[in-house]
């Protein structure tokens, strides 16, 4: 059995960083991760990396050293980071490699993303007439969900309130000031029912993870959580995804449901075993729907779980302990790896003011356009102690 461990994790704080390129942020994260692992760049046998707006991740090579290593650029929408990690996982699991890096970085222009219809195989009129916006999709997905399952606007607000509370405790977060529920609910409406404070913003950041075979890690005295489950799935015909001029009437489960199921099976655990979870929260509604899609509750139960604080720090299942995308912003290439970085901190007992006591199994799920989801389940020693 060739287990895969994360022996080093590095991050460049998310936010806005004038004077630094996206590449600079990625290189910074790799150096931090190598230093965390106690390894050198020359030890790396492979790299998988991606960015959406900051060029090819392969550009880290001239900066860190052209060692001849295998390096593959990854482009998979918002799940780029998750895809890089998945690729690195299999590179080691297969027995072909012992050390490698998964890296993601990005630096986006301010404001909502603008999309070119042709890039998604869609006709021009779809963009011209104002239908091709990710924000509209998010608004419509949660609007229908709220109607079907009785989720209130207050619940949307509570998710954001928690995100900014957690962000205030997180050194790598961008939004580090708590925002109260009324301010969130009454802020500018962006795409009904979602207000400005319920949406994350495109941001800048970089994350890197050093992966190692468990055997080699032990041999060298390195430590770190083990990857128990890693899965990526794409959409079915009947799932509701962004940039869809039409939908089939017969509905199918989302790619998140499929990826979650595969990852749980691979890890041999279930949702009730998870101690801490990082779920894609591009906006408040996404976190609510993803709680159910990842198996943590039944549809509609989020209403009372959020009211009772079940997903806050100290709750039954803390979700997005570093404030998620809402507090960190979303540099696409780095965002999925940021979730795993946070889980590594939790499992190594380094999460300080946001530490989940006794965390042993940590879950992360990144979802993105045009309809794919990647899930990882990490296992640590469980010897972590929470800070009260």
Partner 1 sequence: MPSSKPVAPGLIRMKDSEAALLGGRRLSDGKIVFPMPSGPEALLHKEIELAREGSLWSFTVQRFRPKPPFDGDGDDSSFVPYAVGYVELPGQIIVESRIEVSDPVHLRIGMPMRLVLEAYRHDSDGAAVMTYAFRPANEERL
Least Å distance between CB 111 and partner 1? 7
Among the listed residues 68, 249, 272, 388, the single contact to partner 1 using CB under 8 A: 249
Phi, psi of 29 (to 5 degrees): -65, -40
Least Å distance between CB 155 and partner 1? 17
| Bridging pattern class, strands 46-50 and 226-234 | unpaired
Q: How many CB atoms lie within 10 A of CB 185?
A: 18
Q: 55-74 mask for partner 1 (x: CB under 8 A)?
A: --------------------
Among the listed residues 244, 254, 294, 365, the single contact to partner 1 using CB under 8 A: 244
Binding span for partner 1 by CB under 8 A among 36-44, 81-89, 242-250, 323-331: 242-250
Distance, in Å, from the CA atom of 11 to the CA atom of 315, rounded to the nearest integer, reads: 26
Between residues 135 and 152, which has the closer beta carbon with respect to partner 1?
Answer: 135
Among the listed residues 9, 57, 184, 190, the single contact to partner 1 using CB under 8 A: 190
The token duo for 241 is 């995804």
Least Å distance between CB 139 and partner 1? 3
Between residues 141 and 233, which has the closer beta carbon with respect to partner 1?
Answer: 141
Q: How many CB atoms lie within 10 A of CB 352?
A: 11
Burial of residue 126, with CB atoms counted within 10 A of its CB: 0-12 exposed, 13-18 middle, 19 or more buried: middle
Between residues 124 and 218, which has the closer beta carbon with respect to partner 1?
Answer: 124
Least Å distance between CB 182 and partner 1? 20
Distance (Å) of CA 386 to CA 137, 263, 305, 350, 352: 38, 27, 22, 10, 8
Distance, in Å, from the CA atom of 228 to the CA atom of 375, rounded to the nearest integer, reads: 11
Least Å distance between CB 136 and partner 1? 5
Q: 117-146 mask for partner 1 (x: CB under 8 A)?
A: x-----xxx-xxxxxxx-xx--xxx-xx--
Query: Going by C-beta distance under 8 Å and a sequence separation of 6 or more, which residues neighbour residue 96?
Result: none
Could you tell me the strand order of the sheet in which 70-73 lies?
70-73, 46-50, 99-107, 204-213, 4-15, 226-234, 372-379, 361-368, 276-279
Distance (Å) of CA 104 to CA 71, 75, 101, 383: 13, 10, 10, 29
246 touches partner 1 by CB under 8 A: yes
Least Å distance between CB 268 and partner 1? 37
116 touches partner 1 by CB under 8 A: yes
Q: 148-177 mask for partner 1 (x: CB under 8 A)?
A: ------------------------------
Least Å distance between CB 120 and partner 1? 12
| Bridging pattern class, strands 276-279 and 226-234 | unpaired
Least Å distance between CB 239 and partner 1? 12
Between residues 140 and 269, which has the closer beta carbon with respect to partner 1?
Answer: 140
In the complex, the residues that contact partner 1 under the rule CB under 8 A are 111-112, 114, 116-117, 123-125, 127-133, 135-136, 139-141, 143-144, 147, 188-193, 244-249
């Amino acid at each position: 059995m060739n287990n895969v461990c994360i022996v080093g994790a590095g991050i460049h704080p998310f936010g806005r960083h004038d004077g630094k390129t996206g590449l600079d942020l990625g290189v910074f994260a790799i150096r931090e991760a190598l230093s965390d692992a106690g390894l050198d760049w020359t030890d790396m046998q492979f790299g998988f990396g991606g960015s959406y707006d900051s060029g090819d991740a392969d550009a880290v090579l001239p900066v860190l050293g052209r060692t001849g290593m295998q390096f593959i650029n990854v482009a998979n929408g918002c799940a780029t980071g998750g895809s890089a990690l998945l690729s690195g996982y299999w590179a080691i699991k297969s027995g072909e490699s012992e050390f490698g890096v998964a890296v993601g970085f990005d630096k986006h222009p301010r404001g909502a993303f603008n999309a070119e219809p042709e890039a998604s195989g869609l006709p021009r009129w779809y963009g011209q007439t104002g239908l091709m916006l990710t924000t509209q999709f998010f608004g419509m997905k949660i609007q229908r969900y709220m109607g079907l399952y009785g989720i209130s606007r207050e619940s949307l607000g509570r998710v954001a309130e928690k995100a900014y509370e957690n962000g205030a405790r997180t050194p790598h977060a961008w939004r580090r000031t708590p925002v109260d529920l009324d301010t969130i609910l009454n802020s500018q409406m962006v795409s009904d029912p979602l207000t400005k404070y319920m949406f994350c913003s495109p941001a800048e950041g970089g994350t890197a993870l050093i992966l190692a075979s468990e055997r080699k890690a032990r041999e060298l005295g390195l430590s770190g959580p083990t990857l128990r489950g890693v899965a990526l799935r794409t959409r079915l015909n009947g799932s509701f995804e962004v940039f869809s001029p039409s939908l089939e009437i017969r509905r199918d489960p989302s790619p998140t449901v499929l990826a979650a199921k595969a990852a749980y099976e691979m890890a041999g655990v279930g949702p009730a075993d998870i101690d801490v979870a990082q779920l894609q929260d591009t906006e408040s509604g996404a976190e609510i729907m993803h709680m159910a899609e990842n198996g943590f509750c039944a549809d509609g139960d989020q209403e009372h779980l959020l009211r009772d604080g079940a997903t806050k720090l100290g709750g039954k299942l803390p979700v997005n302990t570093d404030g998620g995308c809402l507090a960190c912003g979303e540099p696409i290439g780095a965002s999925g790896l940021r979730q795993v970085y946070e889980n590594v901190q939790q499992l190594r007992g380094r999460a300080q003011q946001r530490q989940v006591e006794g965390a042993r199994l940590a879950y992360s799920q990144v979802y993105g356009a045009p309809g794919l989801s990647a899930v990882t389940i990490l296992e640590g020693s469980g010897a972590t102690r929470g800070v009260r």
